[in-house]
Structure 1
Amino acid sequence: MSRPRFLPDNFTLALIAVVVLASFLPASGAFAGYVEHITTGIVSLLFFLHGAKLSRQAILAGIGHWKLHIWIFVATFVMFPILGWALRPVLSPLVTPDMYTGVLFLCALPATVQSAIAFTSMARGNVPAAVCSASASTLLGILVTPILVGILLNKNAEGGDALHAVGKIAMELLLPFIVGHVMRPLIGGFLQRRAAIVKLVDQGSILFVVYSAFSAAVISGLWQQTPVPALIGLIVLCCILLAVVLTLTTWGARRLGFNKEDEITLVFCGSKKSMVSGIPMANVLFPAASVGAIVLPLMLFHQIQLMVCAVLAQRYARRPEAQDEGSAMPMIQANR
């Protein structure tokens, strides 16, 4: 029996449980140091596994559609930051200053990989192009996000400049990804047969990072400093931001003359923000005491985008077959 559409999945429930655990039993002292080291290790393992999973054939299949990729990157790294900055006078009164810092950080993040591709496939979009754009967005974000954060917040990363942050992120995320991709001929087949391993590390890494981040924030007084009206305001803010982005990407795809498959890819890849990349980056870019409040907008936005895009993907999927144009469908079928 399938789960009702609007009920949270098991991972969302686990995420809530971890936040509750960190609120009542936060990691502190020497234990917090152990949790931090474990978290860094499991996140690096995650990017190693993703590097081993990504095939060069998938990249080559989608890389030729440069116009679509450019506009996805524009949506992710230009449109989102501009919206976050431009809407600040209107939306910032809804939340606390640290929360809006988190909103600006969210706007600077790369796109998700798994959910963007999954929704594109569900909606019968251009899957190879989605694979290429979402994967490239993750790698590009390692370099671009710290720079955008410095511009949007008019400050450098914790304890140093943006180059230091890029170097640290590259060592923890990019290097394991490259090593994993180099080892793909040896372990790629095993990982394809054991997809549950990657999913376990994927979700486990987020749970560890959320526990570590919220523990530090709770010890610093996160919940005492976060009024209930600000939490409600944050939900409203995330809904407004997502609605504006979905509207602009849909309108832009049609104005640019993309077919329906490419429109779907632009909408789903251009509107996503990655929690897998975002939370580890927040640990590098911000003081530990403020990370909890800063990643809270990302966590809420992530859940809202999943629920809204699930409905939107089903709506796209119900369109008649005659509306499919171009060569996207053969490529999708070839990847199944």
Structure 2
Amino acid sequence: MQRLREILDPFLLLLIGTVALASLLPARGEAAGLAGAAADAGIVLLFFLHGAKLSRQAIWNGARAWRLHLATLGTTFAVFPLIGLATQQATAIPPSMRAGLLFLTLLPSTVQSSIAFTAIARGNVAAAVVSASFSNLLGIALTPLLVALTMERGGTGGLISLSSIEDIVLQLLLPFIVGHLARPWIGGFVSRHRAMLGRVDRGSILLVVYAAFSAAVVEGLWQTVSRGELLLLAAACIAMLGVVLVFTLLLGRLLGLSREDAIVLQFCGSKKSLATGVPIAGVLFPAGAVGPILLPVMLFHQIQLMACAVLARRYGAAADAQARLAAAG
């Protein structure tokens, strides 16, 4: 039971509860407008806080250890999207969820879990902080650009409105820049109240998810998606993660990375950020399309946590055993 609690992400349980609430009591009419406005405000607040949290030193450090960081970014923003384009041939999965699979592969890496798993595995934690933070910083601009470039080719054209660029600037980039510029004045407050602001982060994401799935339910989401299709979607997520885990393992060996840096490549390169994906989807896509697009992101989020938790513990146990042998010798 304890191990189950360690693997299961409590926030995912909140997300599932939010989806269930939206399925049973979706926001309609005037309430839908209020939910959408609250979700937009949550997105602005979320990216403002992201900007305030990221130190300038972390940005400058992104240029160091260039082989590791280039390998991680290449996996995140090149190899993953190619896999996403390949999934568009899975015609058994509904087109809207295939669009979600492709969108998933265009997202940046996670920050907190990548660093946490690197620490458990006895990897290079400092490099993981830089690599994951740099990935998220670039993702604010790269993910919308990749969506515009690949989702048309992936057969999901027509989902992105002409006002998306303006929305990206006003809801994502501008709040992020303002938050980062305000860091000298509010950085101390942000550092002292990380736990409270973390709850604000998660609350903002839950608002976006509720608004998105409410719109999708009103449009008939659960009447058009079967259990079999959900199982196929989960299988596709597992397969994608497996391919990337093997790829990053082999790439680390090919580049001759140290064990500690190879762990960073595997954990930072194989993750996709739910916290970044939810608000970006809310900005890029019409309300009725966001729900199905977020399903793969939510599934992949939990699958990656479970798989990487197992890997991290095994790597950490192996490193500890090797250290004990070295000390005994």
TM-score in same-fold range (> 0.5): yes
With over 3 angstroms needed to count, the CA separation of the structure-2 counterparts of 1:267 and 1:217, relative to structure 1, is same
Deviation at 1:136, TM superposition (A): 1.9
Deviation at 1:111, TM superposition (A): 1.3
Tell me which residue corresponds to 2:108: 110
* 1:109 match: secondary structure: coil
Deviation at 1:20, TM superposition (A): 0.6
Opposite residue 43 of structure 1, the aligned amino acid is I
Tell me which residue corresponds to 2:260: 261
Tell me which residue corresponds to 1:318: 317
Deviation at 1:124, TM superposition (A): 2.0
Tell me how far apart the structure 1 counterparts of residues 42 and 237 of structure 2 sit (CA, whole Å): 29
- After superposition, residues 30-109 of structure 1 pair within 5 angstroms as 30-61=30-61, 63-89=63-89, 92-109=90-107
Contact 1:111 1:270 in 2 (8 A): yes
Contact 1:142 1:166 in 2 (8 A): no
Deviation at 1:47, TM superposition (A): 1.9
With over 3 angstroms needed to count, the CA separation of the structure-2 counterparts of 1:231 and 1:51, relative to structure 1, is same
Tell me which residue corresponds to 1:139: 137
Structure 2 portions without partners, runs of 5+: 324-329
Query: Cα RMSD between the aligned structures?
Result: 2.1
Tell me which residue corresponds to 1:271: 270
* 2:139 match: secondary structure: helix
Tell me which residue corresponds to 1:20: 20
* 1:63 match: secondary structure: coil
Tell me which residue corresponds to 2:224: 225
Deviates more, 1:8-17 or 1:99-108: 8-17
Q: Equivalent of 1:159, from 158, 161, 171? A: 161
Tell me which residue corresponds to 2:201: 202
Tell me how far apart the structure 2 counterparts of residues 299 and 11 of structure 1 sit (CA, whole Å): 11
Contact 1:122 1:313 in 2 (8 A): yes
Aligned length: 319
Structure 1 portions without partners, runs of 5+: 325-336
Deviation at 1:58, TM superposition (A): 3.6
Deviation at 1:60, TM superposition (A): 4.1
Tell me how far apart the structure 2 counterparts of residues 6 and 126 of structure 1 sit (CA, whole Å): 22
* 2:107 match: secondary structure: coil
Tell me how far apart the structure 2 counterparts of residues 157 and 223 of structure 1 sit (CA, whole Å): 20
With over 3 angstroms needed to count, the CA separation of the structure-2 counterparts of 1:58 and 1:39, relative to structure 1, is same
Tell me how far apart the structure 2 counterparts of residues 45 and 296 of structure 1 sit (CA, whole Å): 23
Identity %: 53
Deviation at 1:74, TM superposition (A): 0.6
TM-score by length of 1: 0.88
Tell me which residue corresponds to 2:168: 169
Tell me how far apart the structure 1 counterparts of residues 281 and 263 of structure 2 sit (CA, whole Å): 29
With over 3 angstroms needed to count, the CA separation of the structure-2 counterparts of 1:157 and 1:323, relative to structure 1, is farther
